[in-house]
Every structure is written in C-alpha cells, then in structure tokens.
Amino acid sequence: MIIVALDPPFGHLGDLNFIDIVEKTKHRVQGYKIGLSLLLEHGLKSIIMVKEKSKLKTIVDFKLADIGDIEILVAERVFYVGADSIIAHGFVGIEDALEKLAKYIHAHGKELILVVSMSHRGSIKYIDKHFEELVYDALEIKAHGLVVPATRPWLIRKAREIVGNKVKIYSPGVGFQGVKPGLALCSGADYEIVGRVITRAIDPSQAVDELSKAQLEEVIKCRGLQ
Ligand code: BMP
C-alpha cells in the first residue's frame, strides 16, 4: 500500500518527468501526494495532470496551518482542479480553524488528512507532546485520515488503538528516512508514503515493485502468515 510523494527534483527523466513517474507507477500504487515544491514548479496543472493520468487518489499536501476561512480558500482551489484530499496540521486547533475546514470538505465530498506527529526528530519537542489530543481532535472533526510517521511505530499503534477502523493512517519516513518498507503497515498504518526512493530511482517502476515486495514480505512475517 503505497502513496508516492511527488517532490522534485526527480530522477534522470525530463522536465515534465513527474508524469513519467505517474505513468510508470500507477498500476502498482494507491495514490499520489503533491506538495508545495511540485506546485511551485508546475502550477495547479500538476494536480490536474496527476489526477487525469492516474485516476488514483490525489492528495494535496501543503500542511495547512491557518485560520479556517483561509484554509478553505486553499482547499477550494485544489479541489476545483481535481484533488481528492488535503493535508492540514492538527495543532492549529478546532475552533475557528479545523471545524470550518472539515465542514467545507465534508460538504464537498472530499477528504481531510490531519498531521498529528512528524517523522523528523524535532517533532518530539512540541507536536508529539500533544499527540493523543490531536488524534482525538481528528476523531471529533471526522477527519478521513492521519499522518503518523513510520519513524515512530509506537505512535502508529497508539493512533490505531484510539481511532479503530474509522480513520486511515498514512505513514511517511519509509526508505530514504530510514524505515524498512512494511514496518508501518505492521504497526497499523493503511498506507506508506514513499518519495525519493521512487522519484529518484533510475527505474521508478522497478523501485515500486521492490517496495511492494518488501512490504508484502514484512506483512506476512508480522502477521504470522508463514
Ligand atoms: P521521502 O520518502 O522522500 O522521505 O518523502 C517523504 C514525504 O513525506 C515527503 O513528501 C514529506 O513532505 C512527507 N512527510 C514526511 O516526510 N514526514 C512527515 O512527518 C510528514 C510528511 O508529510
């Protein structure tokens, strides 16, 4: 279960190479995540192109952290061009912020994914101190998903314990940031977000194959299927 993070620069391909990467990986992954760097390089058309070429879940990740009214302005624009989901920070809180964004997103049949911890070490100092409260906030506003890092599997297990099957868990940190493919899935994540191991590979399609195989092997091992 892979979401590809399309962050430039890419591997050896040409200018519009993120589309080549989509073409080469779309049959084996569950969706794509588009961040600010891709949008600044190729504009809103990058969202349109990824959605049109892949027909898969297209997640826009600007890690919104603003008052609700302004977050909605961003959501409006990216949903208009075909995005399915948007990622926002949980730490801005519910009142006047996430409650407004969530209401807008639900009214438009789209998905809100909340960041409740991050994969880098700095997350421990502030964000992780409020991890459980952020997960409960996500439940309160009926978020579709959470970003919980693969680098801290115990947080994935905790989040899963709290949300049950109501909320999807997306885990970055696999590959380039050091976590073995499949470990986050074994801890309860639904998807592993993977960027550079795929986007900087000479052959992105082979990179995805290898990742899927490694995920499967790990999951078979941890679920005791062999
Ligand atoms: P990579 O596999 O190349 O390390 O990319 C990870 C992706 O996940 C990047 O797009 C990054 O913005 C994102 N991400 C992360 O690495 N850690 C987090 O805590 C949250 C993220 O969205």
pLDDT tens per residue, range 82-132: 999 999 999 999 999 999 999 999 999 999 999 999 999 999 999 999 999
Which protein residue has the closest C-alpha to ligand 1 atom 5? Answer: 195
Q: What percent of the chain has pLDDT over 70?
A: 97
Strand partners, 59: 33, 85
What is the torsion angle, in degrees rounded to the nearest 10, for the CA atoms of residue 87, residue 91, residue 92 and residue 94?
A: 90
- Categorize the per-residue pLDDT at 146 as very low, low, confident or very high, splitting at 50, 70 and 90: very high
Q: Which atom of ligand 1 is nearest to the CA of 196?
A: 3
How high is the pLDDT of residue 16?
Answer: 53
Contact between 136 and 113 under an 8 Å Cβ cutoff? The reply is no
> In DSSP terms, which residues pair with 35 in a beta bridge?
61
Query: In the predicted model, what is the mean pLDDT of the chain?
Result: 96
Q: How far is the CA of 115 from the centre of ligand 1 (A)?
A: 11
| Residue 155: pLDDT over 90 | yes
Band (226; pLDDT cuts 50, 70, 90): low
Residue list, ligand 1 pocket, CB within 6 Å: 5, 7, 33, 35, 61, 118-119, 147, 149, 172-173, 175-177, 193-196
Q: Which residues of 126-159 are buried (b: 16+ CB within 10 A; e: fewer)?
A: ebbeebeebbebbeebebbbbbbbbbbbebbebb
Catalytic positions are 63
Q: How far apart are CA 126 and CA 99, in angstroms?
A: 22
Q: What is the CA(94)–ligand 1 centre distance, in A?
A: 24
For residue 192, pLDDT over 90 is answered with yes
Q: In this model, does residue 66 exceed pLDDT 90? A: yes
pLDDT at residue 153 in the model = 98
Across residues 141-146, what is the average pLDDT? 98
Label residue 102 exposed, middle or buried (CB < 10 Å: 0-12, 13-18, 19+): buried
Mutation pick for ligand 1 pocket among 193, 200, 211 (CB with most ligand atoms within 8 Å): 193
Per residue in 1-55, pLDDT (tens digit) is 999 999 998 876 655 589 999 999 999 999 999 999 999 999 999 999 999 999 9
Expressed in angstroms and rounded, the spacing between residue 108 Cα and the centre of ligand 1 is 27
Q: Which of 116, 119, 124, 177 to mutate to test the pocket of ligand 1 (most atoms within 8 A of CB)?
A: 119
